[in-house]
């Protein structure tokens, strides 16, 4: 919900101030999925769909001990792979995705993960959100990750009214320097997981409440709101 009387310049200034405040609030903000290299980053991000980062992190050591690279994963025994990722849910579909993805990496890129958005989104099971996670966190290239938290906060904070993830990405990206895109994603996602919840945002305990046009969607009493805060993302 954008402020009706806000100019484009005012919006840019307010958006960047919000990001600066969130940067101070969450100095340790980063991807909450564990990975050691670009291949692991790609795989765990694919696996994180419809489950929690904590669950993915729990199966990660066993998964990569058995299949340390794309060649090993492409040759995996389906039953064994399903057993490893079974706790994540939708394990049959996710097994299909990992086998197809790994095979494509081997066939098209010699087992390496390409460092380009266009190449990544052509891989089986890799959408724009996943591609931007890999670009920003594994390769250090600017990317905006529009997950449910980022999209929700972008609208609540009045950055955009768009609901389509690609349109959100472009609209919000235009408000910030490209070099800030990856950390902006972390800041909004961390804030969404810890404070600006979907059903009941902790408005009265929010560090950017004075800059938010949606203030009041959740409890505004500081003591009540403080009880809604989380120290970490959802388990």
Q: How far apart are CA 91 and CA 96, in angstroms?
A: 8
Q: Which residue has the tokens 């790994």?
A: 102
Active-site option among 36, 147, 161, 200: 147
Question: Exposure of 111 by Cβ count < 10 A (0-12 exposed, 13-18 middle, 19+ buried)?
Answer: middle
How would DSSP label each residue in 62-117? HHHHH--SHHHHHT--HHHHHHHHGGGS-HHHHHHHHHHHHHHHHHHHTTPPP-SH
Q: Which residue has the tokens 């099971």?
A: 125
Structural Rg of the chain based on CA atoms: 19
Is 17 catalytic? The answer is no
* Contact (Cβ atoms closer than 8 angstroms) between residue 219 and residue 202: yes
Is 147 catalytic? The answer is yes
Active-site option among 36, 129, 199, 210: 129
Q: How far apart are CA 58 and CA 62, in angstroms?
A: 8
Enzyme catalytic residues = 129, 147
């Amino acid at each position: 919900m954008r402020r009706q009387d806000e100019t484009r310049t005012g919006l840019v200034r307010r958006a960047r101030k919000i990001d600066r405040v969130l940067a101070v609030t969450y100095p340790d903000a980063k991807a909450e999925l564990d990975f050691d290299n670009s291949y692991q980053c790609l795989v765990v991000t694919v696996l994180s769909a419809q489950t929690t980062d904590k669950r993915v992190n729990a199966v990660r050591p066993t998964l990569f001990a058995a299949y340390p690279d794309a060649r090993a994963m492409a040759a995996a025994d389906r039953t064994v792979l399903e057993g490893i990722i079974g706790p994540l849910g939708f394990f049959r579909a996710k097994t299909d995705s990992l086998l197809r993805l790994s095979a494509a990496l081997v066939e098209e890129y010699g087992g390496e993960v390409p460092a380009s958005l266009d190449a990544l989104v052509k891989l089986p099971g890799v959408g724009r959100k996943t591609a931007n996670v890999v670009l920003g966190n594994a390769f250090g290239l600017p990317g905006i990750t529009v997950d449910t938290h980022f999209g929700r906060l972008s609208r609540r904070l009045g950055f955009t009214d768009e609901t389509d993830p690609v349109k959100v990405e472009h609209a919000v990206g235009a408000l910030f320097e490209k070099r800030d895109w990856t950390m902006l994603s972390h800041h909004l996602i961390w804030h969404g997981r810890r404070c600006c919840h979907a059903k009941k945002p902790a408005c009265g305990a929010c560090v950017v409440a004075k800059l938010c046009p949606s203030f009041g969607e959740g409890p505004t009493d500081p003591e009540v709101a403080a009880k809604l805060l989380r120290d970490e993302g959802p388990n």
